[in-house]
Each structure stands twice: as C-alpha cells, then as structure tokens.
Structure 1
Amino acid sequence: MAHELPSWLDEKFAAASLQGGEDKEPKVTILNFQVSPAVALGENYQSNIHRLQVEYSIGDSAKQSIFLLSKSPVTHGFVASIQDKFDPFTREQTVYNELLPKLQEKVNYQFGPRSFYSPVEKVLVLEDLKKEGYTMCERVKQLDFAHCQQVMKTIAKFHASSVAVQHEHPKFVERISEEYMYRDDSPIGGFVKMMAGPIMLMVCDILKNRKGCEKYADLIVSRMGNIWSSAVERFKPKAKGLNVLTHGDLWMNNILFKYNDSGEIINVKFIDYPVIRYTTPATDLAYFIWSSANEEVRENRLEELCKTYLETLNSTLEQIGCGERLDEEELKEDLRSLKDWLLFLICQFVPVVLSDPADAIDASDLTEEDIKNPQAMFIKTLQGKTFQAALPTIMRQYEAWLA
C-alpha cells in the first residue's frame, strides 16, 4: 500500500505539539513544515510513521528547527480491527509519558525518545532520534557481539529500574503491563494461536526437503502441541523469583545505536513499547537473542551475553537500593522454560526479520480473508533466500542450546 498522509497531520498539529497544547502559551508560529514517510515497507508492521521537519518561532524569538516523528494506527483492515480491541497506542503513550520518566529517575538514563503533546487521540509525537545521531542497524545482517553486549547492558538497567518503580507504584505497573497477546480470551491471541500450526508445518516442509534436517522437522512437530499453552504460562508473572517490566518486543528494529567518531557504540535507545509485560526478564533476552543476534553470537557468545546482563542487572539493583537479585541458575531455568515458544519465534518471526523488503508483509493491507490463510500470507517470507540459508544453522543451534 502506498504511503498516505493523514488529513490531521498539518501545521496546526505541529504547532499544538510544540506548544504542549492548543491553548498553551507562548504561541508557536510554524515557518516551514514538511512531512515524509519515516520507514520503508517491511520495516514497521502495525502503525503509520511520518517524519516531520519543522521550522518555527516562539513569540518574537529567532527561528528554530526540530525533527519529530508521528506514530498513528493503521485505519483499515484486520490490524485496525484488532487494535481497536486492545488499544496499544494508549498504553504506549502512558509508557512514554509516565513510565520512561520514572525509569530515568532511578538510573539517570533516558531509555527512549522524548515524547511531545499530541492533539490527536491515539497518535504519538516523538523526538526523531535519527537527527540526534542514532541509527538502526540492517536487520538482515543481524547484530554482532559488540552491539548485543550493549543491548544487554541497557535492557538490564531498564529491568532493574522497573523493579524499583514496581515497589513504589504497584498499581501503575499492573495497569500498564496487562497481558493481551498470550491469553485464551484475547482477540490477537486467537490470531496468534490460529496461525502457529500452519506456519510451523510450512517450516517443517522446508526442513524435510533439506538433507540432514529431517530431525529438526520432527523436533518441531513433537513440540507443536505445547506452543500455545506454554506461552500463556511463561508470559505470566512468576509466582516465585524475579519479575520485571519487559520491553516485550525487543528486536533490532526497535533498537537504535549512537556511535562516536571512532565507530564505538556510546548509547542505545529503545522504541516501540505497546507490549510491556510484568514477567521474567528471560522473555526479553530470548526474544532478542533468537531474533536479532547474528550466527556467530548464537554459536559462541551466549554465555558472555548472559554474564553481561546479570552483572549489569544485579549491580544496578544494588545501586538503586533494591534487595532483589537474579542468579545464573534462575536465568538459565527461565530461558529454558521458553523452549517451546522459541520454536514458534524461529518459525514465524525470524523469517520476517530476514525477509527482503520486496517480500515484506504490509500489515496495513491485511484482511480477514488473509488471516484465514496464513500459508499464503507467509509464503514469500518463508521462501526468502536469507531465511532459507539460515534455517538449518538456527535449528542446529537451537538443538544444541536445548542439550
């Protein structure tokens, strides 16, 4: 689908955002206003994102310029109907406006872009971090160890600071972390549950036709019956042990990096927060590692990544005065408890991560009929050359990880 400019996205919208409200003072005068699509097809799956380049003045002050992003729901099709039922944009607004400032207060770290006032309901207005030197890595190449290590340090601080926030604001944490995907009564959960089997069987067919990979097809079939019930249980808060607020969608398209002149990573920020959960931190780690870490990291550096995470998490918990700790045994146990769900991630999401832009699924065009036929919807991504080449290695690494 071609990019469409929303009718409300105009100079009046920009002025209200910069003023902090339509009736706020001092008044902002827009001198120049340009809008363009912020992401290409296949790089965002559930929203419309536009880049705003604004030149403005406040009262009699000199001209200023700023770059913003607007993030709005898709307005038609299956995704729009699902979003109407669980309203991810209101939750994400709460995360940007309330949660992230609370986390930053604990550890003096800004985990995401600044948020601005939005005059339109369910529309986010955010600082454009690209103009601050932050970049998104090329998803098909995935991330090397240096990038993965910095992500582990940053998400560990995020998790640790959320423990302190939960101590002080338990009702707030409960409100923003309600599970809406892995629940038997969830509309989006019903969609996920329905498509899991057909997609995993398609991956089995690929593996059966690869010499030496037949055993991986058998492995998937042997665990398919547990996928949904396992996910429902594993994404709940743990009855015993460490629970944190997780990002919930921690993959490389939701992670931005900033570098110094020598090419060293100096800062990491996270974007897209509609699926915040209160559960084991292992869900974020497993999701990130198997979707975004490259082959060499998965092969040789997983223990180092977990060690980096644990050291940063526990030292941050100590620094901010929280008594909770996470040891290696508990983390490994929690990671292994996700083994069935990870097979679904490998079969359904990794093909999307590794897909060519030309084969990307345009979520805004999906209809109810498309959803009833997940095989047709995912055939291009599953047949992608990069995923097909990577699949045997991923399955071998998964099998070794289970051992």
Structure 2
Amino acid sequence: MFISFLLFREERDYMPENTTVPNENHELITEELVRNGLQKDKGKNAELLSWNIKDFTNKGDGYTSFRNKCNALQHVKYKKGNEESQSEASYVVKLNPKRPPGPMTKMMESHVSTRRSVHKNLIESSSIKLLILTDIIGAMNEHLDRLNLEPLRTPKVFASSTEKGKESFVAENLRIQGFQMHDKRQAQDVHHALLVMEELGRFHASSLLLKESIEPKTFVEKYEHFEEPWFNADNDLFKVFLKMIESQTEESINILSTIPKYERCTKWLKAHKETFGLNFIDGFKPRKPFEVLVHGDCHTNNMLFKYNSMNEPVDMRFVDLQCTRLGSPASDIDYFAYSSLGGETRSKYFPKLLYTYYQSFSKVLLFARKKVPFTFKELEDEVEERKILGFVIGIMSLQFLLSEEDDVVDFGELREENMEEFNKKNKKNFKKLLEISGPFKDRFLSLFDDMLESHILYEN
C-alpha cells in the first residue's frame, strides 16, 4: 500500500525552502529519489536546489480511506548547467504509508511484496497505492509505438525505490497539466464514458500483443510475483472483505424490502447474501477467448480528465493500476458501468459505449495484423454474463463514493472482530444517504432496475 504526494517545482513566496508539513512518511522522500526523478525528466545536468512537501489528497478519494494519509505536495527548485536562473516543476510521489499492523495492512503488504518486480511506473490510489507499470505498461507501449499509435494514457514515472518498507516513486503531476478528478458524487456522462471505453479497448488489446510476445511464458512466469495471494476466497484476510460486502448486501435488502417493485431482487439477495461477495473473484476469472490484462479497479476516482473551454472532456488518464491482473475485458467494462455511470446513461448509451470499446480494441489488433479474438455479439454476451460483478461493485462502491468525507470507512482499521462496529456505521451511513435528496438513491435503485432486466434473477 502506498501514499501519494505532489512534488511542486513552481515558485511561491509563501513557501519557505527546505521545509515540510510534518508527516513521518515524508522521510521516505530522499534527496536521491527526488534528484533521480528530476534528472530523468529534465536531463542529467539538472541540479536539485530545494523542495517542500505538503499532503494533497483527501480522505475518501477512493472507496475507502486510510487515515494516516501520506499524500503530499512537494515544491522543488532546480537549475540546469551553468544557468543562473532557477526553474520549477511539479511531481507526484507515492510512498509506503507505514501503517501499524492489522489484517488489511498485512493483506496490502503481501500485495506490495508480490508486485515489487513490476512496479517502476506508478499511479495513485487512496487505499493501496501500488505500482505495476514500467515493466508491463512500458512493454505494452512499445508495441503501440511500433504501430505508430499513441502510448497508453497513464502517468509517466521518473524514479522509484523498491527497498522493503520504504517503497516510493516519483511520477509526473497530471494536475498541473489540466487533468482533474471527476466529481465522485456525480455519475459520469456519456462524453466522459466514451473516452474511458475507448482507452479500455486500447489497454486490453495492447496487453494481448504483449501476451503473445512473451510466449511460451505466461505473465506469472515472465514477471516474478505477478500473482496476488490475497485475491483468493480461501484467504483469511479476504474473508474480512467478504464480510464487508455481506453487510452492505444486508442493508440493500432492508432498503429494497420497502419497495414492492424490487421484491424479486430482495428474495434473490436474501438467498445469496452470504456468498454474494464471491462474485467479485469469479467476475475477474478469465476464460478464452476473453483473457486480457484488466485495470482491475476501473471506477471514476481512478481516472483523471482534461476539459476544453466549454467544460467538455477531451482527454483522460487511468491512474491506480495496482490491481492490474488477468481477467475478462467484461470485468473492467461492468466494473466501470456500475460504479461510475448512472442508470439513465447505461440505459440510453451502453450499446454505443460498448461498440466504441470494440472498435478501439479491434483497431489496435488490426494495425498489428492480428485476428480479433471475439465478435461484437460475443462481447455483448460476455458482458451480460459478467454483469453480476457489476452489481457487487455497485452495492459496494456507491456509498463510499457518495458519502461525506467523515463518513468514509477507514479500510485499514477493518478487522473481523470489529465488523459489528462497521455494520452499525454502515447502517447509519445508508440511512443518512437515503434521507438526503441527491444522486445516491437514484443510482442505487438503478442497479436493481438493471438486475430485474438481467438473466441473473432467473438463472441463479
């Protein structure tokens, strides 16, 4: 699990040199790390002069919160060669949060240690803050470059440290380039969603080119520790996660039971609430021909957008790729559709969004003179078949995305022995969200409007 910081190199009179906002995690930002990042970006003759640090992300930027946040803003000054004038720049830094021991901490530490060989390019997350990019995303970008196609829309990474307990990295600051997070309390509209689906298609297709290039080796064989030991239903730590989903399912039942329209949904959830969370794992399991590298955590807070003068989205970046794994392309598509889109957008535009994805996916493979492994109709069927993952994600994520900052659950403090306390807070939070007129109720109920029209209630 990692922490995010900004390294700013833009001069501000009110920011004294060589000062930091107190945070024990800041000690992981060493002069060597900053210098390496600076010189990778600006050239070997860039001389580091000073830097400052300030936390910058907010609690609740992800589904859950880790209270001892380590997101910061670092102000750095430098000069080049014999130049007398000073220059400034800005970088994001991710750090190990150095959490106290706990079940979720152990889970995340396990996840970090198993991904250390593939993490030199990195991206932000408010829960785990892991890296997986330089080796894998870098290799995917090489394939795109050979086809004269643009690189994947992810942040550039300039420097990193893999020392155990002191994992850290320096990446470009997309925010000063005009990128920003979409308001998590508002569902993305079709214009945002089109950009996301187009990039998902490129991401998945380029992973197939990489997969073929490393054969006969698999990703697990090529990239040491690629597997995720915690992503297993038999893992004791994952059971805490399953209990959390069960609690949220119970609250969903309480809400739906008061609305006759959703009687069938209520009965189905009651019959499956104890195993409902297992669909989170099953929903990602690949099966040929649907086997690509997926983002794995494809929701609105893990994307940044750039806007034109009319406030229309014109570009985007995926961030927080630490959950990248082998899966079905439908896993990312359903995950995104049910965590980040409203019911009206799904109802009106989903066929268009899915076709945009398929065109983008196919374009990369056709440029590479490769056969597209499935038809559009087969993709439609696969997305429908995996839709139950979308319902799990929707039930799990909406209250976290739409809650006030102080109501966001601290995932790092969640333990089996304090699940009763979590359940009470969860119930209170659901009630609070329902009492407030706003997007929660509409987006929440739209999940079950879709469920009523799906195959799930009739086949399980």
Contact 2:47–2:78 (Cα < 8 Å) also in 1: yes
Aligned residue in 2 for 1:147: 192
- For 1:63, the aligned partner's letter is Q
Aligned residue in 2 for 1:138: 183
> How has the CA–CA distance of structure 1 residues 145 and 7 changed in structure 2, closer, same or farther, with 3 Å as cutoff?
closer
In the alignment, structure 1 segments of 5+ residues that lack a partner are none
Quote the offset at 1:177 in angstroms: 4.9
Of the three residues 79, 93, 106, the one matched with 1:70 is 93
Contact 2:179–2:304 (Cα < 8 Å) also in 1: yes
Aligned residue in 2 for 1:281: 329
The 1-side partners of 2:349 and 2:25 are apart by: 45
Of the three residues 7, 10, 17, the one matched with 2:37 is 17
> How has the CA–CA distance of structure 1 residues 172 and 53 changed in structure 2, closer, same or farther, with 3 Å as cutoff?
farther
Contact 2:240–2:416 (Cα < 8 Å) also in 1: no
- For 1:40, the aligned partner's letter is N
Aligned residue in 2 for 1:37: 55
Contact 1:56–1:65 (Cα < 8 Å) also in 2: yes
Quote the offset at 1:55 in angstroms: 1.6
- For 1:260, the aligned partner's letter is N
Would you say 1:54 and 2:72 are equivalent positions?
A: no
The 2-side partners of 1:131 and 1:150 are apart by: 20
Of the three residues 309, 314, 330, the one matched with 2:357 is 309
Of 320-329 and 121-130, deviating more is 320-329
- Taking the TM superposition and a 5 Å limit, the aligned residue runs for 1:1-400 are 4-9=23-28, 12=31, 13-19=33-39, 26=45, 28-31=47-50, 33-44=51-62, 45=65, 48-61=70-83, 62-74=85-97, 75-78=99-102, 79-87=104-112, 90=116, 91-93=118-120, 95-105=132-142, 106=144, 107-119=149-161, 121-170=166-215, 171=217, 173-174=219-220, 175=223, 177-210=226-259, 212-224=261-273, 226-238=275-287, 240-366=288-414, 369-371=417-419, 373-383=421-431, 384=433, 385=436, 386-400=439-453
- 3-state SS in 1 of match to 2:78: strand
Quote the offset at 1:42 in angstroms: 0.6
Of 377-386 and 282-291, deviating more is 377-386
Quote the offset at 1:322 in angstroms: 2.2
Deviation per CA, 1:135-181, whole angstroms, max 9, x where unpaired?
11101112000110111001101111111011112447333752445
> How has the CA–CA distance of structure 1 residues 109 and 20 changed in structure 2, closer, same or farther, with 3 Å as cutoff?
closer
> How has the CA–CA distance of structure 1 residues 220 and 256 changed in structure 2, closer, same or farther, with 3 Å as cutoff?
same
Instruction: Name the structure where helix makes up a greater proportion of residues.
Output: 1
> How has the CA–CA distance of structure 1 residues 7 and 53 changed in structure 2, closer, same or farther, with 3 Å as cutoff?
closer
The 2-side partners of 1:159 and 1:381 are apart by: 36
Of 194-203 and 135-144, deviating more is 194-203
In the alignment, structure 2 segments of 5+ residues that lack a partner are 1-20, 121-130
- 3-state SS in 1 of match to 2:188: coil
Deviation per CA, 1:70-129, whole angstroms, max 9, x where unpaired?
222332253322212221763543632222222222132242111021346422321110
- 3-state SS in 2 of match to 1:332: helix
> How has the CA–CA distance of structure 1 residues 391 and 263 changed in structure 2, closer, same or farther, with 3 Å as cutoff?
closer
- 3-state SS in 1 of match to 2:369: coil
The 2-side partners of 1:189 and 1:337 are apart by: 24
The 2-side partners of 1:20 and 1:315 are apart by: 32
TM-score, normalised to structure 1's length?
Answer: 0.88
- For 1:42, the aligned partner's letter is G
- For 1:216, the aligned partner's letter is C
> How has the CA–CA distance of structure 1 residues 50 and 366 changed in structure 2, closer, same or farther, with 3 Å as cutoff?
farther
- Aligned-residue sequence identity (percent) comes to 20
The 1-side partners of 2:401 and 2:382 are apart by: 24
TM-score, normalised to structure 2's length?
Answer: 0.78
Contact 1:137–1:253 (Cα < 8 Å) also in 2: yes
- 3-state SS in 1 of match to 2:48: strand
Contact 2:231–2:281 (Cα < 8 Å) also in 1: yes
Quote the offset at 1:285 in angstroms: 0.2
Quote the offset at 1:187 in angstroms: 4.5
The 2-side partners of 1:221 and 1:355 are apart by: 25
Contact 2:93–2:170 (Cα < 8 Å) also in 1: yes
Corresponding pairs, count: 398
- 3-state SS in 1 of match to 2:52: strand
Contact 2:95–2:169 (Cα < 8 Å) also in 1: yes
Contact 1:145–1:297 (Cα < 8 Å) also in 2: yes
Quote the offset at 1:200 in angstroms: 0.8
The 1-side partners of 2:443 and 2:313 are apart by: 27
> How has the CA–CA distance of structure 1 residues 262 and 7 changed in structure 2, closer, same or farther, with 3 Å as cutoff?
closer
The 2-side partners of 1:216 and 1:16 are apart by: 55
Of 99-108 and 147-156, deviating more is 99-108
